Amino acid sequence: MDKRAAPSEPIVDYDIHKVLKALPHRYPLLLVDRVKRLDPMERIHAVKAVSMNEEFFQGHFPGAPIMPGVLQIEALAQSAGILGMESLGLTGSDKIVLFMGIENAKFRAPVTPGCLLDLEVELTQSRRAVYKFSGKASVEGKVTCQADFTAMIADPPES
């Protein structure tokens, strides 16, 4: 990411309306509810309120609901998308962030309804339009999953 494009001050109190401007995702796949803090070109701390009303709990698993690990990683990737869009001043544009790869994914603890899932992502490398991130999800300080991933900012696919 071009450091010249980044605002120098941290961004706080980033509500759902701003999340919707930064990401193209919508229900049922929007997995970020708000951002607690965003340090442009560095890191983001976002939150997902995990509710029993989530569609995936109907089948994962009836009687013992657990948030799928792949959705935790998707929530981390969406958080990274917000970090990228805000850092580059692209929020509200037609650009999108595309997930390119996952490495070192580890699942440490289950996430159940009623949890506040903290999503912490750090930018670790940038080259042209490709960015590497390291992320961890946690509940009350206990890590539930972690992964390194790669993404790129691109134009949306043509319809």
Dihedral in degrees, nearest 10, Cα atoms 118, 34, 133, 21: 160
Q: Closest Cα partner for 92 from 21, 17, 14?
A: 21
Question: Is 45 one of the annotated active-site residues of the chain?
Answer: no
DSSP-assigned beta bridge partners for residue 125:
132
Q: Closest Cα partner for 80 from 120, 34, 30?
A: 120
DSSP-assigned beta bridge partners for residue 123:
133
Annotated catalytic residue: which of 17, 25, 45, 60?
60
Catalytic residues: 60
